[in-house]
Amino acid sequence: MTETLALAKALIARRSLTPDDAGCQEILIERLEKLGFTIERMRFGNVDNFWARRGINAPVVVFAGHTDVVPSGPVESWFSPPFEPTIRDEMLFGRGAADMKTSIAAFITAIEAFVEDHPQHDGSIALLITSDEEGVAVDGTVRVVEALQARGETLDYCIVGEPTSNKLVGDMIKNGRRGSLNGTLVVQGVQGHIAYPHLVKNPIHMVSPAIAELATTVWDEGNEYFPPTSWQISNMNGGTGATNVVPGTVDILFNFRFSTASTELELKNRVHAILDKHGVKYDLLWELSGKPYITPKGNLVEAISRAIEQSYGITPELSTSGGTSDGRFIADICAQVIEFGPLNATIHKLNECVAVADIEPLKLTYQRTLENLLCK
């Protein structure tokens, strides 16, 4: 059993349902302190986070991740208990195996091996670890970033250990993410008896032409890294349940997944313009849950791509697909942010697992990326 596998099993054995860290971070801190890291425990609300750094000079290479996991679902449907790490058919099973305790274990053992080989390395190595990524994500990475930003710390490179691989480990790096902008639209009408249409104003009828235009609008064409921005309705509710009553309001929840080709303000202004154009009487509340960010080809992308080719024999594809990650917060203080980790096929599912054969190459990928960035 390798050090990485042993550490991954130790972390999986902790029942760290978000936002409970369940002692995972203390396991990591104990190992990092032995390497000379300065540790800052940052607890916000009921969320445990820590910031660890070795070195005072630039460039600063950060490994970021989360120790919390989603609920297991029905335990009886697992092949083995979800918090008893089990190796079967050369796979490591357990909640968090792919998302993302194996990555965190690989962070630690990669750093240990790198420091042993390069005790006087250039620059700095840091870790940003939270237990609030799978939940509401308000007292985790975002709060740590705010604290670092308040004291003027900037980071050069960040690797988030999310499970990015698609069919084979190493086939995909996330070098950015789309933004997510939510709208809660309440269209006002006049409720009344359906048999007296001259006395009512049906809000569903009133808003339908605007919906048709919103659905067919080309918001942008995307760019080299992003597909075109998408507008989608997720929920639409109106009516009393009776068949003879016109509703007084209709509630519509919609979302933009938007690229760096559009801004939050541009999208908001265009939505309001379309609604106003169609004479809709409405209230609209906005919520930005993530800004888009991109890391173009450069030092970090090249460094980890070379490391992946050495470790897995695969040339990775760059992608900005999928939902949001904590990279959206870190990008505020870090010029280059990428995500790379195991296969994502079983994340959040029953019988989550990773191949044992993929674990040591993951550690070597992180270790070689450090060498590519910090060794002249």
User: How far is it, in rounded angstroms, from Cα 232 to Cα 247?
Assistant: 23
Cβ atoms of residues 301 and 196 within 8 Å: no
Q: Give the pLDDT confidence score for residue 240 in this predicted structure.
A: 93
Q: Which of 25, 217, 58 is nearest to 130 (CA)?
A: 25
Q: Give the pLDDT confidence score for residue 290 in this predicted structure.
A: 86
Consult the annotation and say whether 278 binds a ligand: no
Q: Which of 365, 225, 360, 361 is nearest to 303 (CA)?
A: 365
Q: Tell me if residue 198 falls in helix, strand or coil.
A: helix
Cβ atoms of residues 97 and 343 within 8 Å: no
The residues annotated with a catalytic role in the active site are 68, 133
User: How far is it, in rounded angstroms, from Cα 25 to Cα 272?
Assistant: 46
Q: Give the pLDDT confidence score for residue 185 in this predicted structure.
A: 98
**Mean pLDDT per 10-residue section of the chain, whose length is 376 residues:** 97 98 98 98 97 97 98 97 98 98 98 97 97 94 97 96 96 95 98 96 97 98 93 96 97 96 97 98 95 94 98 96 89 96 97 98 98 93
Consult the annotation and say whether 205 binds a ligand: no
Q: Tell me if residue 33 falls in helix, strand or coil.
A: helix
pLDDT tens readout for residues 58-88: 999 999 999 999 999 999 999 999 999 999 9
User: How far is it, in rounded angstroms, from Cα 206 to Cα 218?
Assistant: 22
In CATH terms, the fold of domain 3-177+293-374 is Aminopeptidase (3.40.630)
| Domain ranges (residues) in the chain | 3-177+293-374, 179-290
Q: Give the pLDDT confidence score for residue 322 in this predicted structure.
A: 84
Q: Give the pLDDT confidence score for residue 374 in this predicted structure.
A: 97
Residue with tokens 């890294």: 225
Consult the annotation and say whether 134 binds a ligand: yes
Q: Give the pLDDT confidence score for residue 289 in this predicted structure.
A: 87
User: How far is it, in rounded angstroms, from Cα 135 to Cα 133?
Assistant: 6
E strand or H helix at 203, and its extent? helix 203-216
Q: Rounded to a whole number, what is the distance in angstroms from the first to the last CA of the chain? A: 32
Q: Candidates 3.30.980.10, 3.30.70.360, 3.30.479.30, 3.40.50.1980; correct CATH number of 179-290?
A: 3.30.70.360
Q: Is the peptide bond before 100 cis (omega within 30 degrees of 0)?
A: yes
Q: Which of 311, 266, 314 is nearest to 292 (CA)?
A: 266
Consult the annotation and say whether 352 binds a ligand: no
Consult the annotation and say whether 162 binds a ligand: yes
